[in-house]
Structure 1
Amino acid sequence: MSPNIEGLKVVYLHPGEVCFSAKPIVVSTVLGSCLSIVMYCKTLPYAGISHCQLPLCKGDGADCVNCADPYKYVDCTVRSMVKKFGERNIIRSDIEVKIFGGGDVLKNSPSGNKLNTVGKQNIMSANKAITENNLNLSVSDVGGQQGRKILFFTKTGEVFLNRLKNNGQS
């Protein structure tokens, strides 16, 4: 099933970026070991999506408010996104959370450790931050050996996912 994006503004999300919107748009991103965190509130149309690169902030995540790159790190991203939703008086129980990515797509991880790849670390960091922030994870499509291309519809909260072959093709 192909999504209908006719008439909607399409935004491409690069690594380390985030997009928040109260208007209907489509956000597109391509993920390998990186992780996208999607948050959506249907009671007050508001949505956010991130493209995180690494699991933990250099400052251990304790002070994400002062993080120079809050959307580069999974732990800081969850905290920052929750704060942004809170500024709109959206309570945590009204936030639908989805995560995508975290694939083991890097052929040679720097550590050579296949058990603790960047993708796996990103997934673990996301699950921990989601739990610590009292959020409910509704959808998770993470891990594996392939990358993903996702399209996020901010009006409905729907995410269309296309798994990529190892050569980057769908």
Structure 2
Amino acid sequence: MINYYFDNTNALKPYTHQLDANDDTLPPDNALRIAPEFKEGFHPCEKNGTWVLVEDHRDEIVFDIETKESVKIDYLGEIKEGFTSLEPFQFSKWNGKKWVLDEDDQNAFKVKQNKMLKNSLLNEANENISILQDAIDLDMSENGDEDKLNAWKKYRVLLNRIDVSNIAVIFPEKP
């Protein structure tokens, strides 16, 4: 285990060397002879000749409040500014205290999904119309092909009229 101490600037530093103390000598640099107090969630460190408990969040996962990226803590002390232990959710944004729903982000996602669905449905309609039209043009149509062609054309017109920016859009039923 690594022991830590505070230097003259009060910056937390790892205790990286070993000096043995005898009964008739002073303790090693930055070391105390009294046992430190231990408390869950804290790590004892020496400061000005006494033990202090420093927050210990090592190996905990925190989240960047700007990017939502997760980071594993590898330092002693308070969680750094700009990070939180609260996990973000889809379409969330940080309001200074907690994650809240970002409705603009959620709506933009729905609009994007609507565009993709509309394009997919238009491609399917175009394919069906093309095949039915070829059958009719080549006098290879079967009974009901003209009705099917008209139904797919009507469906394609209705699809083209859809405003995908309306997040509550209802797509027409396929023929």
Q: Normalising by structure 2, what TM-score?
A: 0.20
Greater percentage in strand: 1
Greater percentage in helix: 2
Indicate the structure whose relative CO is greater, using CA pairs within 8 Å and at least 6 residues apart: 1
